[in-house]
Amino acid sequence: MKTYSITTPIYYVNADPHLGHAYTTIVADSLARFHKLSGEDVFFLTGTDEHGDKIVQAAEKQGQSPQEFVDTISARFQALWPSLGIANDRFVRTTDPAHKQVVQDFLQKVYDAGDIYFGEFGGHYCYGCERFYTEKELEDGLCPQHLTKPEFISEKNYFFRMSKYLPWLREHIAATPDFIRPERYRNEVLAMLESGALEDLCISRPKSRLTWGIELPFDKDYVCYVWFDALINYISALGWPDGADFARFWPGEHLVAKDILKPHAVFWPTMLKAAGLPLYRHLNVHGYWLVRDTKMSKSLGNVVDPLQMGRSYGLDAFRYFLLREMHFGSDASFSEDALIGRINADLANDLGNLFSRVLSMTAKYFGSIVPEGRGLAEEDAAIAELCATAMRNYSQLFGHVQFAQALESLWELVRALNKYVDSQAPWTLYKQGNMERLATVMLVLLTAMRKIAICLWPVMPGIATRMLEQLGQSVQADSAPVASLEAEIGDFDGLQPGTALAASSNLFPRIEKKDAESGNSKNSTGKALRKEKNRAEARQGQATAPADTTTQAEAADTTSRRPEIDFEQFKAVDLRVGTVVVAEKHPNADRILRLEIDFGEGTPRQILSGLAEHFTPEDVLGQQVCAVLNLPPRKIRGLVSHGMVLTAQDGKGLRLLTVSGAVDNGAEIA
């Protein structure tokens, strides 16, 4: 069985986890799941980096001992991950006794090989980076990362003969194109290696200056430099040198942001080489999440809490956004507006809508049972082919850490399926009694939807599981839904006729932007305005709110007459017939149905209508109805209505206006 292992950086425990940490860990989790879905034996490692000056300083600030402090924050990281849907196999801490032992064994091995020596050294030390800078590396005398003046420290220390391995490293990187990816970071490292700025690495700190670290096995007056200690986590967690996991999962892949490129691309491979160990396979490097064009930082107060985002917008939608929005390698901007935009466009409109309309139609036409298809027509075969292409691209791009592009290729399929629904018009086939063709169309849609759900499991494990359950598939929590993604790409099948499906689906309710509509009513509008709004909604969407009772009574009044209008006024009203292709309850308003109606305009129109007390969604689905189309769009409880369905109401109830025989969608009413 092919094995795969992926790591995140082990995070410093000097502050609470934020969006940046969550992103890397969610990406690692998605990669781990992707490889499980490909049938591989997977190991996913994360953890915390707990030694060094920074930690001691942060603990002091809290009035705690370093150990108490690291225990508290490390526990917060550990507790966070399951709440973000992350299923790591191991959590490593650099204060674990087993890790300390491995670091000492590693140091001893390199020392015995003659690659560690004792010497006097003076350097510019940045406490933020926990490292010495050479004169050449400083920018205007400042640390290039923190823009602070480093302290010049001169002391006796131990050094790793890194410079000995730099020519070899340069060769290796030049000969192995995807060792560091994307390419821009590979080029950055090559430039670093060619600049001549790199020297031997100071790997100790005298205990007179710092005691919070791992003691050097060959000198008890020194502790190990925190980066040398931390990088070794990647093999200590696997039980190097003799552990079965080391034999099974090393070498693996690493995932980091560009801030820690150098330790991973230069220190770590040379350390491995000196210890006689195989190099990792890939170093995957991503950019920063920015908030209003600035890197997130606690001191700037622009830190985004990933848990809060997951709670407010749905964990899976948040995970999708992170992978879709950031082009791996480049920086990306985080904003709630961008998050809401993606949720509404990609998830609610495209994906959620597809599931909702296809499952409702299958409920109406086939009693929620997967029908038997009768051979593919040309347009069905085109969908099958697009499905295979989209899945193949998705799989290749995902494996090469191009998540945004991978998801985009899958969405080409999602959007094509929505168009296929429009072009095949199952409601017309149903009206015509063409059940054979209807069965094939629905089977094509359902088959492709199952494939999409499978592909999405690495990114949105919870939602993908729900999608598969709605499609009558049995899925076990946290195990891959199929054993081989590759096999799924080849065949356009997988759904057994006769399988029972969910009758409806509401995976992603649309989200209202914070500053829109309802927020305003609090500040600027009083009760009177709110009431006026309810009336307006009631007129247009025959809405819902408690204040509408008078309006409903008015509507039921069959005797009062309106003033005369002229013919031109009547002609100005755009009255049309259309077929209801999606019908579901409004997520935030009990009395309203959300309809999508095909008026022959290419894409169906969303109209909200106060029908829910009189009709179920299934009652109206597939019906031809009459509507006014040229009213201004109106927002009702977060959703926008683009028209008004005509009804007739009397004391006994409410009826829909329909036509006496089928007409083309969009036919004018005159």
**Could you list the active site residues?**
18, 21, 126, 129, 143, 146, 295, 298
Query: In 10 A of CB 291, how many CB atoms?
Result: 18
Answer whether 266's CB lies under 8 Å from 198's CB. yes
- Taking the complex as a whole, the smallest distance from the CB of residue 143 to ligand MSP amounts, in Å, to 14
Q: How far apart are CA 591 and CA 39, in angstroms?
A: 47
Task: Output 10 or 589, the one with its CB closest to ligand MSP.
Answer: 10
Residue facing ligand MSP at closest CB distance: 20
Token pair for 275: 């210890």
Point out which residues bind ligand MSP (CB under 6 A).
Answer: 9-12, 20-21, 23-24, 49, 230-231, 233, 256-257, 259-260, 288-289, 295-296
- Taking the complex as a whole, the smallest distance from the CB of residue 131 to ligand MSP amounts, in Å, to 11
- Taking the complex as a whole, the smallest distance from the CB of residue 348 to ligand MSP amounts, in Å, to 27
Q: How far apart are CA 327 and CA 323, in angstroms?
A: 8
Task: Output 74 or 104, the one with its CB closest to ligand MSP.
Answer: 74
- Taking the complex as a whole, the smallest distance from the CB of residue 306 to ligand MSP amounts, in Å, to 11
Answer whether 202's CB lies under 8 Å from 130's CB. no
Task: Output 257 or 343, the one with its CB closest to ligand MSP.
Answer: 257
Q: How far apart are CA 455 and CA 481, in angstroms?
A: 10
State how far the alpha carbon of 188 is from the alpha carbons of 195, 196, 270, 400, in Å.
10, 13, 17, 19
Where do we find the tokens 């095909």? 598
Task: Output 289 or 365, the one with its CB closest to ligand MSP.
Answer: 289
Task: Output 11 or 365, the one with its CB closest to ligand MSP.
Answer: 11
Give one DSSP letter per residue of 131-155, joined into a string: EEE-GGG-BTTB-TTT-SPPEEEEE
Answer whether 393's CB lies under 8 Å from 409's CB. yes
Q: How far apart are CA 507 and CA 505, in angstroms?
A: 6
Please give the DSSP secondary-structure letter assigned to residue 369. Answer: B
Where do we find the tokens 């961008």? 338
Q: HSE-up of 477 (CA within 13 Å, CB side)? A: 4
Mapping DSSP to helix (H, G, I), strand (E, B) and coil, where does residue 206 land?
Answer: strand
Task: Output 67 or 297, the one with its CB closest to ligand MSP.
Answer: 297
The H or E element containing residue 609 is strand 605-609
Task: Output 232 or 441, the one with its CB closest to ligand MSP.
Answer: 232
What single-letter amino acid sits at 609?
Answer: S
Q: How far apart are CA 82 and CA 296, in angstroms?
A: 23
- Taking the complex as a whole, the smallest distance from the CB of residue 304 to ligand MSP amounts, in Å, to 9
Answer whether 210's CB lies under 8 Å from 56's CB. yes
What single-letter amino acid sits at 54?
Answer: K
- Taking the complex as a whole, the smallest distance from the CB of residue 217 to ligand MSP amounts, in Å, to 20
- Taking the complex as a whole, the smallest distance from the CB of residue 22 to ligand MSP amounts, in Å, to 9
What are the two backbone dihedrals, phi and then psi, of residue 252, each rounded to the nearest 5 degrees?
-125, -160
The H or E element containing residue 72 is helix 66-83
Task: Output 9 or 541, the one with its CB closest to ligand MSP.
Answer: 9
